[in-house]
């Protein structure tokens, strides 16, 4: 399979005056004029080397050469890398498994094909189950317009990630602009991506969910070979899979199954239920591309089928999933629903979304995860921390709102979705400081700003209050008929009494005017 792509890739390179190559010091691709001498070098590295599928005692080293070569990995606990594994079978794609590694240790490695050596790289084996490891999450790095030019922001973030020396890297999808019916176009786009992702992959294993931009769904054929080629994953060619790392469970799910986009259903849902139920890890992460509670792609995400979303939310709650990690919205957001943390991290390079909610800035997430705590931060392009959140969460119950169009404006009658970080024992809602109601009603049928006060009682008997200001548009003017004439009983009584008094007065007056007869 890989040899086929390789041949197509060569055609692209030969046909184009502009291509990319690694700079050994940073791994970040630099555009170069391709010389015929470089093409003639049959042992130059087309991909990698990258370290993949790392456990606490093993790792898979992958690289690709332009021509068929033998393959050797040199590795060790110091830079002298005296141990080696040799594969004498000639090939272009090289996968060598390292086993018997020491737990939680920094290993150095380099590869050689025929007599050409790579630079020296390093990675860490996993720590003991439950102990802290550093995970980087990055999503939506894709180009905005030209397929083979990855955003500068992604290149900068990639170098920052390398400097972080993470144990593992998670990518939440949308790596390329699109996948067309033109293989040369696709190869150029994916090569631009893997040139950068491999620069990270020199130092840490990468696991990537499939994004909507990464398939050829619009062409009628998914063309998943490029996605499979970009990553070394467990259980390929499945687009959903799981693995354990340091006693933590990861389930990577596919929100892009053809004709079921944005849905987790059918065989995949059955697999996910079994997968989560059979895991006894106390920390579980599920990673997919589309959010369950989007801020921008509303109706274009897992929210598009509310019943299935509720089923998924319930599954994750029942199976003690720690967080659902996704992208698709080019921003950052953290929402906790009944103890399940939802992280949208789509700031990897595609243009950030301008949104009323959520923080739209280029970033990646640094998550330090162990059985005792999870510390999650967003890291901006300038290195500053944009957001920080920790588990276990010890603060008050949180109340959040979702669903309204751009975040503040909605059609009259729209029922906002209110979410609580834990199940409240009592809830009250009040529109425009009116009467407290136990049932939430839709936006008032009057255009303009409205306030919605929400009060919730948590398990510690502490009330939390949140006020949301929303703007109603599209209110229908009420054409009211004249009110029916309704007479007030008091008025009727008063009129009757007054009438009687008048009659009595008239009679008395007239009697006084009549002369007495004899
Ligand atoms: Fe997307």
Same domain? 307 vs 359: yes
Query: Do 350 and 431 have their domain in common?
Result: no
Is residue 423 in some structural domain?
A: yes
| Domains identified in the chain, total number | 2
Q: How far away, in angstroms, is 106 Cα from ligand 1 center?
A: 35
C-alpha distance from residue 385 to each of 229, 258, 330, 378, 381 (Å): 33, 37, 17, 6, 9
CA of 303 to the centre of ligand 1 (A): 14
Q: Cα-flanking dihedrals φ and ψ of residue 495, to 5°?
A: -65, -40
Encode the chain (518 residues) as per-residue pLDDT tens digits: 344 344 434 333 333 333 333 333 333 333 333 333 333 345 689 999 999 999 999 999 999 999 999 999 999 999 998 899 999 999 999 999 999 999 999 999 999 999 899 999 999 999 999 999 999 999 999 999 988 999 999 999 999 999 999 999 999 999 999 999 999 999 999 999 999 999 999 999 999 999 999 999 999 999 999 999 999 999 999 999 999 999 999 999 999 999 999 999 999 999 999 999 999 999 999 999 999 999 888 888 999 999 999 999 999 999 999 999 999 999 999 999 999 999 999 999 999 987 666 678 999 999 999 999 999 999 999 999 999 999 999 999 999 998 665 445 666 777 889 999 999 999 999 999 999 999 999 888 888 888 999 999 999 999 999 998 888 877 776 655 555 555 555 656 666 666 666 666 656 556 555 443 33
Residues 171 and 299 occupy one common structural domain: yes
Last residue of a domain, one of 350, 370, 391: 391
**What's the 392 CA to ligand 1 centre distance in angstroms?**
30
Q: Residue 260 C-alpha to ligand 1 middle, in angstroms?
A: 15
What CATH code is carried by the domain that includes residue 283?
A: 3.60.21.10
What's the DSSP call for residue 74? E
Question: 398 near 421, Cβ under 8 Å?
Answer: yes
Query: Residue 204 falls within a domain, yes or no?
Result: yes
How many angstroms separate the alpha carbon of residue 345 from the centre of ligand 1?
11
Residue with tokens 């990639």: 158
Residue 453 maps to a domain: yes
Tally Cβ neighbours within 10 Å of residue 27.
21
Answer whether residue 212 is part of any domain: yes
The verdict on residue 512 lying in a domain is no
With beta carbons less than 8 A apart as the criterion, state whether 322 and 360 touch: no
Is 452 part of a structural domain of the chain?
yes
Residue 451: domain span: 403-473
Q: 211 and 353 share a domain?
A: yes
Last residue of a domain, one of 358, 391, 424: 391
pTM higher than 0.85, yes or no?
A: no
Residues 142 and 183 both lie in one domain: yes
Q: Are residues 340 and 417 in the same domain?
A: no
Q: Is residue 63 part of a domain?
A: no
- The answer to whether residue 518 is domain-embedded is no
Residue ending a domain, among 334, 367, 391, is: 391
- φ/ψ region of 421 (left if φ > 0, alpha if ψ in -120 to 50, else beta) reads alpha
173 C-alpha vs ligand 1 centroid, how far in Å?
A: 7
Instruction: Output the domain CATH number for residue 431.
Output: 2.60.40
Are residue 306 and residue 437 in the same domain, yes or no? no
Give 213 Cα–ligand 1 centroid separation in angstroms. 6
- What distance in angstroms lies between residue 210's CA and the mean position of ligand 1's atoms? 9
> Does residue 385 share a domain with residue 409?
no
**How many whole angstroms from 281 Cα to the centroid of ligand 1?**
29
Whether residue 339 sits in one domain with residue 226:
yes
Q: Do 205 and 265 belong together in one domain? A: yes
Examine the domain organization and report whether 329 and 427 are in the same domain: no
């Amino acid at each position: 399979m890989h040899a086929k792509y390789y041949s197509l890739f060569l055609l692209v390179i030969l046909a184009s005056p502009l291509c990319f190559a690694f700079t050994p010091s940073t791994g970040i691709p630099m555009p170069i004029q391709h010389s015929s001498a470089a093409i003639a070098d049959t042992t130059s590295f087309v991909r990698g080397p990258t370290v993949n599928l790392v456990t606490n005692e093993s790792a898979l080293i992958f690289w690709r050469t332009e021509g068929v070569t033998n393959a050797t990995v040199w590795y060790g606990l110091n830079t002298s890398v005296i141990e080696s594994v040799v594969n004498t079978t000639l090939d272009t794609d090289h996968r060598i498994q390292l086993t018997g590694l020491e737990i939680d240790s920094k290993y150095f490695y380099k590869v050689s094909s025929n007599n050409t050596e790579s630079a020296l790289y390093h990675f860490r084996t996993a720590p003991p189950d439950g102990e802290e490891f550093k995970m980087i999450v990055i999503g939506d790095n894709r180009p905005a317009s030209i397929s083979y030019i990855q955003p500068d922001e992604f290149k900068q973030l990639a170098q920052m990630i390398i400097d972080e020396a993470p144990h593992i890297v998670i990518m939440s999808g949308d790596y390329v602009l699109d996948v067309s019916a033109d293989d040369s176009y696709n190869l150029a786009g994916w090569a631009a991506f893997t040139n950068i992702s491999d620069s990270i992959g020199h130092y840490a294993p990468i696991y990537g969910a499939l994004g909507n931009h990464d398939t050829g769904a619009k062409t009628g054929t998914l063309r998943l070979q490029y996605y499979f080629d970009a990553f070394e994953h467990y259980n390929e060619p499945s687009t959903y899979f799981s693995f354990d790392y340091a006693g933590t469970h990861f389930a990577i799910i596919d929100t892009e199954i053809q004709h079921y986009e944005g849905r987790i259903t059918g065989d995949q849902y059955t697999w996910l239920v079994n997968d989560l139920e059979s895991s006894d890890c106390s920390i579980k992460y599920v990673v997919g591309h589309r959010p369950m509670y989007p801020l921008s792609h509303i109706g274009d995400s897992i929210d598009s089928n509310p019943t299935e979303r509720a089923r998924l939310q319930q599954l994750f709650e029942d199976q003690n999933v720690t967080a659902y990690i996704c992208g698709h919205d080019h921003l950052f957001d953290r929402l906790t629903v009944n103890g399940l943390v939802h992280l949208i991290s789509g700031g990897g390079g595609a243009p950030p979304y301008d949104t009323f909610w959520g923080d739209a800035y280029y970033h990646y997430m640094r998550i330090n995860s162990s059985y005792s705590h999870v510390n999650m931060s967003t890291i901006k392009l300038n290195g500053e921390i944009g957001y920080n959140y920790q588990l276990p969460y010890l603060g008050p119950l949180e109340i959040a709102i979702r669903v309204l169009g751009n975040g503040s404006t909605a059609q009259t009658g729209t029922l906002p979705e209110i979410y609580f970080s834990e199940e409240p024992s009592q809830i009250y809602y009040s529109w425009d400081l009116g009467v407290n109601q136990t049932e939430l009603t839709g936006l008032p049928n009057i255009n303009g700003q409205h306030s919605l006060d929400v009060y919730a009682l948590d398990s510690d008997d502490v009330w939390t209050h949140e006020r949301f200001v929303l703007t109603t548009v599209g209110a229908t003017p009420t054409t009211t008929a004249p009110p029916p004439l309704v007479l007030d009983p008091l008025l009727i009584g008063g009129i009757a009494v007054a009438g009687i008094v008048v009659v009595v007065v008239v009679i008395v007056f007239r009697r006084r005017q009549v002369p007495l007869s004899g």
